[in-house]
Amino acid sequence: MAIAKAERLMNLALCLLGTRRPLSKRELRESIEAYLEAGSDDSFNRMFERDKDDLRELGLVIETVESLDGEVGYLARRDSNRLPPITLDAEEAAALGLAAKVWQQARLAGAASGALQKLRAAGLPEDVDPYGAHGALEPRIPVHEAAFEPLMLACRDRRPVVFDYRKANAAQPEQRHVEPWALECWRGHWYLAGWDRDRGAERVFRLSRITGKVRSRGGRYTAPVPDVVTVRETVASWAGETADRSARIRLRSNAGYPLRAKATAVRELGDGWDELEIPYGHGLDAWLVEFGPDVVVLEPAELRADVVDRLRAVAKG
């Protein structure tokens, strides 16, 4: 959410919560600087209606009251917008405290620190060590991709985005128009799940393959957001995690350690090569291409053909 809009929503919420009587649109416009700068009445009315809908979507209960002279006013009663007291046992508080300390990025550090202070106030004792007796283990979620922050905000704000994406078998990136749903980390890599408008289907994107800037687009989502987004399951199927077959490959010695970790059998061939048997499932060809000349597929024939086709596509670019 842009800072200017967040500040405008905060000011509107404070006005509605702080008044003892309903405030008309005119009074609200005169009280909030951003509304005074809105320009025409039509621009202000559109901005106000969007802001009111956004606050209601965030959970603020806003009442619409019509006065005796027919003028419509708005207010948010404090008793209708008061949260129940937070009660946490020691284990729950420690778990939330641990989660608040996971993020190490500068962008999220302030929010996590503030959340941790609120947890302290809610019952997390100062001497609770969420890492264990001596704090030897400290969880971290690494984020190196520049696309992470804008996509995180887009997921939160339900805002469509546009970015250039290079598939594993493509030499050049393609522009993708996406309605982002969720971000998830799987085996050290971040993935985005969302609705690909160009293809009219759900897609999962690896953030390290996004090139250039992530650009926001206006408008609402065109596809419903599912209650459960299965990012890890989708990526696992690409990597052959759910495979029921085996592939046989040659792998250069001292290379391809992720492949070696998945291998069910390894045999030294000499001359700097090993032979591996690895689970074979959907998307394995795209993964093998990433290892370039260090991998040669022996069987099955269809997997070898798929890898060769992908390499040829890259070479043509």
Q: What CATH number belongs to 245-316? A: 3.30.70
Look at residue 97 in the predicted model and tell me its pLDDT.
66
Where, residue-wise, is CATH 2.30.30 in the chain?
148-230
Nearest to 98 by CA among 53, 142, 132: 132
pLDDT (0 to 100) of residue 127: 52
Whole-number pLDDT of residue 291:
87
Task: Return residue ranges of the chain for CATH 1.10.10.10.
Answer: 3-80
Q: Rounded to an integer, what distance in angstroms lies between the CA atom of residue 153 and that of residue 238?
A: 27
Q: Tens-of-pLDDT digits for all 317 residues of the chain?
A: 455 788 888 999 999 998 888 999 999 999 888 888 887 888 899 999 999 988 988 888 899 988 767 789 999 988 888 766 767 676 776 676 666 665 555 455 555 566 666 656 555 555 555 444 444 455 555 667 788 889 988 988 889 999 999 876 667 889 999 999 988 877 667 889 999 999 999 998 989 889 989 999 888 899 998 887 877 777 766 555 566 688 999 999 988 888 888 889 999 998 999 999 998 876 678 778 888 889 999 999 988 988 888 888 777 76
| Residue owning tokens 């690896």 | 206
- Rounded to the nearest 5°, which phi and psi values hold at 80? -85, -10
- Please, which residues have CB within 8 angstroms of residue 114's CB and are 6 or more apart in sequence? none
List the structure tokens of 225.
């957001």
Q: What is the distance between the alpha carbons of residues 115 and 53, in angstroms, rounded to a whole number?
A: 26
Residues 6+ apart with CB under 8 A from 53: none
Distance CA 251, CA 215 (A): 40
Non-local CB neighbours of 198 within 8 Å, separated by 6+ positions: 176, 177
Q: Where in the chain is the domain with CATH 3.30.70?
A: 245-316
Looking at CATH, the fold of the domain delimited by 3-80 is given as Arc Repressor Mutant, subunit A (1.10.10)
**Sign of the alpha-carbon torsion through 84, 85, 91, 97:** positive
Count of Cβ atoms closer than 10 Å to residue 198 Cβ:
11
- CA dihedral (142, 146, 152, 153) positive or negative: positive
Assign domain 148-230 to a CATH class: mainly beta
pTM of the model: 0.47
